[in-house]
Amino acid sequence: MSSYNPPFEIHVHGQVVLTAKTSFEQLQEALKPLWTYAGARSLADGAASVYEEEPGIQFDAREHLLQMCWTVRGDDDFRQSLDEMCMRLNELSEQGAAIEVTFYDTEFDDDEEPDEAESRDDFLMLFVGPTPAAIMQVQRDLLVQDVVNMMERHFDGAELGGVVTEIDKLFALRFDALVNSLEIGKPPRGPGSGGSSHGGGNRRPRHLH
């Protein structure tokens, strides 16, 4: 293992608002795919980034906030760790959040590679949230921000209301399709069938009318 040189430096960056009842122990378990990948035995041991100037992984218990500005050396298999982390963070998150992940190809050298060579740099945008609606809300807000920023080079912001409306329509269609897919296979609820619904679980994200 000591002779292995990981081909990537992987930077994880994001901020997640957690539920008020989230404990350090719960967060440590949710982030276990990250700190175990780094070879640590605990979150406290693995929270530091490979770069001292980066704050690493921080838990603000008073503000119920997880902040990540953390780099680890690794390979493509780190993507599995990210998937596991997102699934676990969904259960602790209070609202939707985006997490940026950048893979930097450490084996690529602009000065030495032939002109046609391309680096394996990659960028991922991951999303976590307590409900599909919360996740879609973050996705919608980021898309609107990107589109408006791009189009404001050519149009006044006041002229872009119709564009935002069309984006909302697309997300509303996607959300309805998701809800319908979740309903497939459920037994019909007749008189006396009982059961309970989770508040806001199938509620549309705001703006998506």
What is the reported pLDDT for 205? 55
Structurally, the chain folds into a number of domains equal to 2
Residue 112 and residue 56 share a domain: yes
How many CA atoms lie less than 13 Å away from 164 in the CB half-sphere? Answer: 15
User: Over 168-185, what HEC string results?
Assistant: HHHHHHHHHHHHHHHHCC
Containing structural domain, residue 173: 135-183
pLDDT one-digit tens code per residue, 113-171: 555 567 789 999 999 999 988 999 999 999 998 999 999 999 888 888 898 898 888 88
Quote the tokens at residue 156: 């006044």
In-domain check, residue 205: no
Q: How far apart are CA 56 and CA 46, in angstroms?
A: 9
In-domain check, residue 30: yes
Which residues in the chain show pLDDT less than 50?
A: 1-2, 190-201, 209
What is the reported pLDDT for 2? 47
Are 56 and 131 in contact by the 8 Å Cβ rule? The answer is no
Q: What are phi and psi of 41, to 5 degrees?
A: -105, -5
Tell me the whole-structure pTM to 2 decimals. Answer: 0.78
In-domain check, residue 93: yes
Residue 156 and residue 119 share a domain: no
Task: List the CATH number of the domain containing 110.
Answer: 3.30.70
What is the reported pLDDT for 64? 97
Residue 25 and residue 120 share a domain: yes
Q: How far apart are CA 16 and CA 91, in angstroms?
A: 12
In-domain check, residue 201: no
Residue 118 and residue 139 share a domain: no
In-domain check, residue 161: yes
Residue 154 and residue 56 share a domain: no
